[in-house]
């Protein structure tokens, strides 16, 4: 293979017409686990490249795929006796071909959108992404606000420009000011050279301010002035600088409440709250738990270079009835913990350890609208059985724990679809 700057940025894999691995370069070796690259062995590209089962690469010459939370352009070149796969990071291609936004309509593909709540959110996000006004993203811890901000940037006309993020939480004013606006030479002791801040570095692109609720009043005032006209001064400099940057703010708290408490500027709040996206908690999007589970299992398997385990039929109902106070991040961590200790080819309820649900985490009572007493009772009963089933994983053990007959518990487990009973 020819050497060169572009080639070194691409992972190249060659297989024969029987899918037997013929060759690969050093970039591919660094990108994939070694045990997936066995010369003269069958190369299962459908799984290795995380291609959807319904996607037939034989009918396509390219695809956008996600590996290790990064977008890649996968291209296929067919010759008479072999097939060559070329994978290039989309970010690299965007820098080389800045006149087009490579990710484009694929920016939101990383999200599970089985639930109506997420379908509505992504539709809003796409509409808001193409605007110039500031974007405010709210949501509980672990819902993925930073991922949504990045997707909105990628989908926007600014998608081929820089995207930078600063966490404002517990950060002193002088640090925030220097990071965002930069400083002139001599502005601080030891600052022998001038420094461009995030706003200058991301000129033409977007800047994410995470934890905007913890920004001081002084910094809020300076930010409001910048949002209004695009001008600012570096610390220690008298010259004004103009940049074209879209501001994206993220917070886990209710800014309106902070305004009422006098802890957040009212004028800045109304300036930021023009385009607002609220990421639903995981308990508000239970339909997404199944696709998220498979996404995380496939992601883990790809990193470890193993075949993804099968999922027992009672796992999804078990996960669905948990309240998930830590949201999507907690689901991912729970699954990764289970998978790292898995010794079989199937993931079962017994392999999953869920933190004990406290009284503040019980969410079933919020889902009782238009339900009869009998329906609510069964809903609560199913939740209790699923919660206890981990520690008492058989109908006999569970019956003894609850002080009822084995037959009664066996029937309830069967009726609720909790079918893995080891007696």
Structure pTM? 0.65
- Structural contact between residues 399 and 408, judged by C-beta atoms closer than 8 angstroms: yes
pLDDT value of position 53: 57
pLDDT value of position 368: 60
- Structural contact between residues 345 and 311, judged by C-beta atoms closer than 8 angstroms: no
Q: Which helix (DSSP H) or strand (DSSP E) does residue 269 occupy?
A: helix 266-272
CA distance 248 to 97: 25
Reading the block at residue 123, the tokens are 């539709």
pLDDT value of position 396: 79
Which mean pLDDT values do the consecutive 10-residue runs of the chain (423 residues) have?
A: 43 87 86 84 83 60 78 80 84 60 72 94 92 93 95 91 88 88 80 84 94 93 94 89 95 92 93 92 94 92 86 92 92 94 92 71 54 76 74 75 80 70 40
pLDDT value of position 92: 72
DSSP string for residues in 23-50 = EE-HHHHHHS-GGG--TTSB--HHHHTT
């Amino acid at each position: 293979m020819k050497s060169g700057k572009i080639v070194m940025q691409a992972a190249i894999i060659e297989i024969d017409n029987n899918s037997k691995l013929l060759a690969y370069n050093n970039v591919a070796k660094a990108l994939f686990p070694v045990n997936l690259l066995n010369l003269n062995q069958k190369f299962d590209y459908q799984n290795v490249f995380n291609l959807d089962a319904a996607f037939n690469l034989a009918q396509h010459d390219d695809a956008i795929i996600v590996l290790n939370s990064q977008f890649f352009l996968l291209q296929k070149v067919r010759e008479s006796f072999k097939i060559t796969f070329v994978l290039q990071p989309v970010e690299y291609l965007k820098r080389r071909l800045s006149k087009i936004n490579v990710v484009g309509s694929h920016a939101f593909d990383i999200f599970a959108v089985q639930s109506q709540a997420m379908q509505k959110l992504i539709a809003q996000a796409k509409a808001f992404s193409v605007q110039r006004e500031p974007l405010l993203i709210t949501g509980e811890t672990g819902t993925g606000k930073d991922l949504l901000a990045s997707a909105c940037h990628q989908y926007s006309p600014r998608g081929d420009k820089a995207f930078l993020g600063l966490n404002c939480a517990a950060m002193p004013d002088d640090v925030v000011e220097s990071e965002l606006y930069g400083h002139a030479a001599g502005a601080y002791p030891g600052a022998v050279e001038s420094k461009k801040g995030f706003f200058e570095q991301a000129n033409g692109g977007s800047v994410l301010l995470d934890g905007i609720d913890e920004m001081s009043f002084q910094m809020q005032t300076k930010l409001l002035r910048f949002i209004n006209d695009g001008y600012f001064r570096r610390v220690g400099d008298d010259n004004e600088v103009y940049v074209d940057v879209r501001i994206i703010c993220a917070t886990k708290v209710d800014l309106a409440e902070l305004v009422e408490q006098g802890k957040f500027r009212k004028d800045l709040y109304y300036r930021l709250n023009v385009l607002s996206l609220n990421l639903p908690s995981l308990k508000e999007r239970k339909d997404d738990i199944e696709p998220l589970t498979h996404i995380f299992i496939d992601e883990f398997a790809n990193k470890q270079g193993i075949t993804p385990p099968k999922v027992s039929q009672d796992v999804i109902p078990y996960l669905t009835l948990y309240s998930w106070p830590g949201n999507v991040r907690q689901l991912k961590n729970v699954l990764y913990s289970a998978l790292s200790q898995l010794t079989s080819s199937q993931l079962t309820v017994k392999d999953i350890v869920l933190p004990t649900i406290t009284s503040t985490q019980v969410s079933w009572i919020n889902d009782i609208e238009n339900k009869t007493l009998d329906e609510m009772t069964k809903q609560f009963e199913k939740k209790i059985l699923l919660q206890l089933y981990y520690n008492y994983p058989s109908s006999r053990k569970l019956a003894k724990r609850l002080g009822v007959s084995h037959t009664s518990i066996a029937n309830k487990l069967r009726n609720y679809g909790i079918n893995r009973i080891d007696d």
